[in-house]
Amino acid sequence: MRWTPVVLLFTLLRSVPAAAAPADWSPARWGNENTLQLTTDRPDEGAYTFPVWLVVLDDQVYVRLGGRAADRVQKSKSAPDVGVTVAGKHFDHVRCEPAPDLAPRVAEAMAQKYWSDLIIHYFPHPLTCRLVPGNEASAPGP
């Protein structure tokens, strides 16, 4: 059998273990949290931290972002990574992974969790994200 570079690369990549989530990344414990803090770092405004609602579905954390928040995330120097502080824990490298296919389910979960979503759901939310942690140690929140 002749090993082509592509086959060899694929074989090597399959043998590399996936990065594990930090030990303190515990979505199941955060389901009752009202908000988490996202931190972005845009070139035109520097570091900026803001609260967002969260829901936990299938042991994954999801956020639904309005236009300004989505813009901050997408134009951050670290995009698609953001900083996340939740339940007193801070994570520097969390990927805000777009999940448009889950937007209706996330919106329904938000409506069930937050009474004020009765009004908020009428505003545009162009970005629904699954928050996926990098492999890092966590630190106490600010």
Mean pLDDT calculated for residue range 27-49: 95
Say which CATH number the domain at 32 has: 2.30.110.10
- Please give the tally of structural domains in the chain: 1
Find out whether 52 and 35 touch, Cβ atoms under 8 Å. Answer: yes
Q: Is residue 12 part of a domain?
A: no
Residue 22 banded pLDDT, cuts 50, 70, 90: confident
Q: Is residue 76 part of a domain?
A: yes
Q: Which of 121, 45, 33, 126 is nearest to 84 (CA)?
A: 33
Q: Is 99 exposed, middle or buried (0-12, 13-18, 19+ CB in 10 A)?
A: buried
Mean pLDDT calculated for residue range 100-117: 91
Q: Is residue 68 part of a domain?
A: yes
Q: Is residue 58 part of a domain?
A: yes
Find out whether 30 and 131 touch, Cβ atoms under 8 Å. Answer: no
Taking the CA of residue 102 as centre, how many other CA atoms within 13 Å lie in the half-sphere pointing to its CB?
19
Mean pLDDT calculated for residue range 94-103: 97
Full domain range(s) for residue 81:
19-135
Record the pTM.
0.78
Find out whether 38 and 82 touch, Cβ atoms under 8 Å. Answer: yes
Average pLDDT, the chain: 82
